[in-house]
Amino acid sequence: MINVKYFDFHLKGKNPDSDLALINEAKRLGYHGISIFYSNEQYNLALENFNKIINDETSPTHLKSFKIDEFSITPGIIIQGKNPHHLQKQIRSLRNKTNILMVDGGDLKINRAACENVKVDILSRPYYKRRDCGLNHVLSREAAKNNVAIELCFSDLLKSRNSLRSKIIAHFRDIIKLQRKFQFMLLITSGARTIYDLRTPQDIMALYRCLGLKKEEILRAISDSPSFILDYNQQRKNMVVDGVKIIDEK
């Protein structure tokens, strides 16, 4: 049997205690890695905190990702762009600071700027506060071209009720339909702030199967795509252009 590695690629960091509780709970539920997102201001503090938790004196202090017993923790930065120009400025300044860069979507111009930027890893919730799913064929094609993953956040389903929940499910279906046609990366995440928002990978899979995704597609979204983003970002600094990278002979 193939051993699948499950990742939860969007946890919301708050303070050291709650972050540690989230990490421990995710580990208990069977995840192999998580990514915790902070705003730009909180990010440095979070890195210091992780260095203290891991308390490994042999590891260098400039680490951007951590490991506890094969459980990987990758802190990331979430950008809330006011307009496309502001967003691009933020991306340029923060890209080298972190391993994972996520853009909070919702506004159509922000969605487009994020999909067109190869430096962005994840576009989070393009459907947020919208009447449509926030993506069309043009944005989907750009997202696929630039390796920008589109996130479907479970906490949006969890925190909504009745008609709002059904609209979010409809947006999810629209995104899934576009994904099948244009083959951009899809990410299924929990968006958890507390341990009460986390679910086991099998529960998440069961829920998304109810929404119409196939088992292989779900596995791609919670296992393969996160692994690809992590690997891609480790090699990003060596990449000259897409398809060309500098190989260290040593």
Partner 1 sequence: MKLKILPPTLRGDKRYLAFETISQIPLPRDDLIFMIWESCLKFHGECETSKFRLWVTRSWDLNSNNSKKDHFQLKGILQCNRGDEEKVRGALCLINSYKGKKLVFHTLGLAGTIKSATQKFIKPSP
Q: Is residue 77 close enough to count as binding partner 1 by CB under 8 A?
A: no
The window from 63-71, 98-106, 128-136, 194-202 that contacts partner 1 (CB under 8 A) reads 194-202
Question: In the complex, what is the shortest distance from the CB of residue 159 to partner 1, in angstroms, rounded to a whole number?
Answer: 8
Tell me which of 130, 173, 199, 236 binds partner 1, using CB under 8 A: 199
Q: Is residue 14 close enough to count as binding partner 1 by CB under 8 A?
A: no
Q: Is residue 1 close enough to count as binding partner 1 by CB under 8 A?
A: no
Ordered DSSP codes for the chain: ---PPPEEEEEE---HHHHHHHHHHHHHHT-SEEEEEE-HHHHHHHHHHHHHHH--TTS-TT-SSEEETTEEEEEEEEE--SSHHHHHHHHHHHTTT-SEEEEE--SHHHHHHHHT-TT--EEE-TTTT-SS-S--HHHHHHHHHTTPEEEEEHHHHHT--HHHHHHHHHHHHHHHHHHHHH---EEEE--BSSGGG---HHHHHHHHHHTT--HHHHHIIIIIHHHHHHHHHHHGGGEEETTEEPPP--
Question: In the complex, what is the shortest distance from the CB of residue 201 to partner 1, in angstroms, rounded to a whole number?
Answer: 11
**From residue 17 to residue 56, what is the string marking binding to partner 1 with x (rule CB under 8 A)?**
------------x---------------------------
Q: Is residue 217 close enough to count as binding partner 1 by CB under 8 A?
A: no
Nearer to partner 1, 143 or 198 (CB): 198
The window from 41-49, 90-98, 133-141, 157-165 that contacts partner 1 (CB under 8 A) reads 157-165
Tell me which of 120, 135, 198, 213 binds partner 1, using CB under 8 A: 198
Which residues contribute to the site for partner 1 (CB under 8 A)? Answer: 29, 157-159, 162, 194-200, 202-204, 206-210
